Amino acid sequence: MSYKNFTVETDADGLALVTWDMPEKSMNVFTMEVMDELDAIIDQVVADAAIKGVVFTSGKSSFSGGADLTMLKAMFTMIEEEKVKDPANATKKLFDAAGRMTWLYRKLETCGKPWVAAINGTCMGGATELSMACHARVASNSKSVKIGLPEVKVGIFPGAGGTQRLPRLINTQDALQIMTTGSDLSASRAKALGLVSEVVEPENLVAAAKELLKKGVDAVQPWDKKGFKAPGGAIWSPNGIQLFSAANAILRRETNMNYPGALAILKCVYEGLQVPIDTGLRIEQRYFTHVLSTTQAFSMIRSLFVSMQELGKGARRPAGIAPTKFKKVGIVGAGFMGAGIAYVTAKAGIPVVLIDRDQAAADKGKSYSEDLVKAGISKGKTTKEQGEALLNLITATPDYSALEGADLVIEAVFEDRGIKKTVTEQIEAVIPETTIFASNTSTLPITGLAENSKRPNQFIGVHFFSPVDKMMLVEVILGEKTEDKAIAVALDYVAAIKKTPIVVNDTRGFYVNRCVFRYMNESYDMLQEGVPAIMIENAAKFAGMPVGPLALNDEVAIDLSYKILKAQIADLGEHTVEKHHMAIVDKMVNELGRLGRKNQKGFYDYPPKPAKKSLWPGLKDLFPQKKAEEVDFEELKQRFLVTIALEAARTMEEGIVTDPREADVGSILGFGFAPWTGGAISYIDGMGVKAFVALAEALAAKYGAHFKPTPLLLDMAAKGETFYGRFDPYRVANAA
């Protein structure tokens, strides 16, 4: 038989090599077609008496990335359509769809013939679950091998047998940690845990798998044999009781119970290990169906899986412009941001010219990359040779003429219009007409900066976030005269350095920082009201934010907040800044000298390590304090999420952000907006615009006009619309 996505070759020893190699795909992914073909292959293996065993491997450099984006989109579309057409049957259809992969893998492992998975490169999600259904696993010792079950990161959990097989293969505690964190394993770590049988050289991978079959691999899984005991012991043993008591506490601490998928993992393992595997798989299927039905899962998968992939692949890139292959990128300004941009550019294999006012300053900027390379070598993440090759791509110099021939130049100097004007003129004196000019500014409008350029049509903003090597988001900001060529080059560059772009129109603070300022401003309001600082920080974390607003303000620097407020007053007038907001930062900076982490004192105190930071006790003396019982903690949580979501809605109403995918992805990647919501716009859509408007109006009545819903929100509530309906990005794309 022949297959589109697989080849099946049987050797003289009766060992079948099943190679998964999807045409026109850079990585193997699960689709309905793939599962149908795998189903047929299992039947072929069973029917062919000449086949004694199977090696399952990939014909690509990686094993598989898991489920296909389009398959997940189709499943959610089916759910929504079925809810409208036949609500009673919707859950049954979802239950059957959720179990397709589960029972296919069960068919594989009970087919009567042994299967060995030969794992090369990335092996994630459903692919890891497939490998666990095989009767043994062999992995390459290549550093590219990563084995994991990352589903919890997008709101679901390993629902194709992962919660049942992993704790039957390895220690229960390790299994829970792998699944609830979504962390991946190297081949050696997987072998140490007992997940992988052997680790071999890449060129010996298939041969080693076949040799394993020749020596004898039991075609009956351990959990299908009488008397099987899980490696971690019984659930009701003293160790089991202690483990699950601790696991529940840790889950509550780490997730604040915002993630149904994470909780379902504990439930599946706890209940599943007490019953036979088939019953355990049915339990998992039921929980998976429930989690897939939640707003959290729908929104997280849409934003963190579907939208991120679409944006990363150039969903907003103008059509008809040839892709840019970068021969040289120039970066002017070798401070913390410029140095970070130089590192990620060189890491992508692109030659970099890093310029500053003198050689010492430029060299200092390059030393940032040197330190990161040293750290990478010490941790085994890179080799000395790879590190040297990266550093050789960075030329540190004060000579602007070195920018000649650059495809893109990024200005990353201080947030000062005068300095940026001077630097722009110096750059444009040496670069060719074809070079695109980008400014890495965090707040200054691009249109105004482009006035310093002789070719504003080729001027664009690229706003990185700190630290550049870790933060995955880049805001691409369009000035009034920015043309498609500049947009295309900027997006090509972001793709080359493997980050996720959002495209926004010009305004003060752009998109992310406008939302961040709302978050910090709400904490100023709470301080003035006398809410204890610890309740402010904890409310934000319980709402799902990764860091409290006061801690975030310290990281940003309180004196920077002061400068931004001063600049806003100068440009837009005093009425645009709340007096008590300015009073708080003014007192912290100018009277108390508390600038944030940069000088070891801000809203927090930063004692020498290993001591941890703690909230500054003097905060309670700034305003009369309320007693904890006088504060509505749930309302504090709502205030943080609603004020940010309102600002996200304003940016869409103003046309700053035009695609809800970008508003959602930008809010999560830019400042960690409660990922369980799917992002700031999905937070509104998830509860329903009408319900959000009612909540915002209730908060406005108590806490001020900044909570009043915008005209757009009121109109959408009246019409029963959603953001993803009114601003449907796919309708816009199809129309184009």
Return the pLDDT at 733: 54
Reply yes or no on whether the pLDDT at 75 is more than 80: no
pLDDT digits 0-9 by tens, 322-347: 999 999 999 999 999 999 999 999 99
Return the pLDDT at 97: 86
d(CA 265, CA 157): 7
pLDDT digits 0-9 by tens, 232-252: 999 999 999 999 999 999 999
275: its two tokens: 């019953």
Please name the amino acid found at residue 454: K
pLDDT-derived band at 90 (thresholds 50, 70, 90) equals: confident
Return the pLDDT at 507: 86
d(CA 492, CA 324): 6
pLDDT digits 0-9 by tens, 264-299: 999 999 999 999 999 999 999 999 999 988 999 999
Average pLDDT over residues 120-139: 96
pLDDT-derived band at 87 (thresholds 50, 70, 90) equals: confident
Return the pLDDT at 414: 85
d(CA 543, CA 117): 42
Return the pLDDT at 328: 96
pLDDT-derived band at 73 (thresholds 50, 70, 90) equals: confident
Lowest-confidence segment of 81-95, 182-196, 656-670 by average pLDDT: 81-95
Q: How many residues does the chain have?
A: 736
CATH for 513-655+659-726 (1.10.3720.10, 3.40.50.300, 1.10.1040.50, 3.30.70.20):
1.10.1040.50
pLDDT-derived band at 735 (thresholds 50, 70, 90) equals: low
Q: Which residue of the set 290, 463, 580, 706 is catalytic?
A: 463
Average pLDDT over residues 664-674: 96
Return the pLDDT at 572: 86
Of 144, 149, 95, whose CA–CA distance to 124 is shortest?
Answer: 149
| Domain map (residue ranges) of the chain | 6-293, 329-509, 513-655+659-726
pTM above the 0.85 mark?
Answer: yes
Average pLDDT over residues 472-485: 95
Reply yes or no on whether the pLDDT at 109 is more than 60: yes
| Annotation says 463 is catalytic | yes
pLDDT-derived band at 732 (thresholds 50, 70, 90) equals: low
pLDDT digits 0-9 by tens, 296-318: 999 999 999 889 999 999 999 99
pLDDT digits 0-9 by tens, 420-459: 999 999 999 999 888 999 999 887 889 999 999 999 999 9
Q: What is the overall mean pLDDT for the chain? A: 94
Percent of the residues in the chain that have a pLDDT greater than 70, as a whole number: 99
pLDDT-derived band at 489 (thresholds 50, 70, 90) equals: very high
Return the pLDDT at 433: 84
Query: Which residues fall within 8 angstroms of residue 350, CB to CB, at 6 or more apart?
Result: 326, 328, 329, 393, 496, 497
pLDDT digits 0-9 by tens, 606-638: 999 889 999 999 999 999 999 999 999 999 999
Q: Considering the domain 6-293, what is its CATH architecture? A: Alpha-Beta Complex (3.90)
The top-level CATH class assigned to 329-509 is: alpha beta
Return the pLDDT at 508: 83
Query: Which residues fall within 8 angstroms of residue 329, CB to CB, at 6 or more apart?
Result: 345, 350, 351, 352, 353, 406, 407, 408, 409, 410, 493
Of 651, 337, 677, whose CA–CA distance to 474 is shortest?
Answer: 337
Average pLDDT over residues 65-94: 79
Of 36, 41, 40, whose CA–CA distance to 19 is shortest?
Answer: 41
pLDDT digits 0-9 by tens, 142-173: 989 999 999 999 999 999 999 999 999 999 99
Return the pLDDT at 734: 55
Q: At what angle do helices 69-85 and 87-98 cross, to 10 degrees?
A: 160
In terms of C-beta density within 10 A (0-12 exposed, 13-18 middle, 19 or more buried), how is residue 44 classed? middle
594: its two tokens: 């508390």
Reply yes or no on whether the pLDDT at 657 is more than 70: yes
Reply yes or no on whether the pLDDT at 100 is more than 90: yes
Return the pLDDT at 157: 95
Return the pLDDT at 293: 87
Return the pLDDT at 567: 84
Average pLDDT over residues 202-213: 96
